Amino acid sequence: MTSGTIILQGCISRGIKLSGALAAAGLIAAQSTKDLPDHQTEKYAVVTLVDCRSILDPVLCRDHIGFYHSAIINTHDVSGGEMLWDLAKRCYMSYTNAKDNNKHFTDMGDLNFLMCKAIENPGLTPSSSMRTAFISVFEDPVMDDSNEMHEKVGVEDYVGCSSVHGVGPSVAIFDTIRDGRLDCACVYPSPLHSRDQVQKLIDNMKRILVDGCGSVECES
């Protein structure tokens, strides 16, 4: 069983989605870089992108071409010693509560206005790059089981992501479950953050997720 499958199994058994686990791993990794006392909390924002195709009228199929995502932003207080699955549950429940209250629609106008202003006036934000949140994740991962087809046409690997100049999170996670394995593309603003800085963060996230796999295996 692959680590991606184990992580998904852990999410399903807790009634959450992969987005909650990825966000939690990112928050724990970020807090651990501060070298703070365990009792001291840090506040972080998480943006979860929602694919609205299925809730539009008329409904659009999942692979309908175009960008139909809205966003929900939640803030979380994170202290040292946080456990992955406990924080993942908190992240996911905060998101679902906001979604149940239609925040992905009611906040859309305000978010679009702020993003447009930041893009139009990049000099008004620190380092000409406004951070809307620490991390962004997608509500649902892309499911891709087409490696055999890619091999036939000579494609060894690929990533899919998008970004907007001047505004966005510090780290954007584009997650795919590819043939049972978790495959993530991570996008960050440069030179606001260095590659070395982000690589250390991602390595720490991977370690946290792998440790989380261990606790899932102990449960089964």
Higher pLDDT, 211 or 110: 211
Angle between helices 18-32 and 84-100 (to 10 degrees): 120
Higher pLDDT, 120 or 43: 43
pTM here is 0.86
Mean pLDDT of all residues in 113-124:
72
Burial of 83 (0-12, 13-18, 19+ CB in 10 A): middle
Q: For position 162, what pLDDT does the model report?
A: 66
Other residues' Cβ atoms within 10 Å of the Cβ of residue 204: 17
Higher pLDDT, 56 or 109: 56
Burial of 57 (0-12, 13-18, 19+ CB in 10 A): exposed
CATH architecture assignment, domain 3-219: 2-Layer Sandwich (3.30)
Other residues' Cβ atoms within 10 Å of the Cβ of residue 125: 15
How would DSSP label each residue in 30-70? Answer: HHHTT---TT-EEEEEEEEEEE-GGGSSS---TT-SS--EE
Higher pLDDT, 35 or 96: 96
Burial of 144 (0-12, 13-18, 19+ CB in 10 A): middle
Q: Which residues contact 154 (CB under 8 A, 6 or more apart)?
A: none
Other residues' Cβ atoms within 10 Å of the Cβ of residue 168: 22
Q: For position 28, what pLDDT does the model report?
A: 95
Q: For position 119, what pLDDT does the model report?
A: 72
Q: Within the chain, where are the H helices?
A: 3-13, 18-32, 84-100, 103-106, 108-120, 147-152, 195-219
pLDDT single digits (tens) 166-214: 667 889 999 988 877 888 889 888 878 889 999 999 999 999 999 988 8
pLDDT single digits (tens) 147-156: 677 777 887 7
Alpha-carbon dihedral of residues 137, 140, 145, 151, nearest 10 degrees? -30
pLDDT at 48 over 80: yes
pLDDT at 88 over 80: yes
Query: What Rg do the C-alpha atoms of the chain give, in angstroms?
Result: 18
* Phi, then psi, of 17 in degrees rounded to 5: -110, 165
DSSP 8-state class, residue 141:
P
Q: What distance in Å separates the CA atoms of residue 106 and residue 116, rounded to the nearest whole number?
A: 17
- pLDDT band for 43, please (50, 70, 90 cuts): very high
Q: What residue spans define the domains of the chain? A: 3-219
One-letter amino acid identity for 131?
R
Mean pLDDT of all residues in 121-136:
70
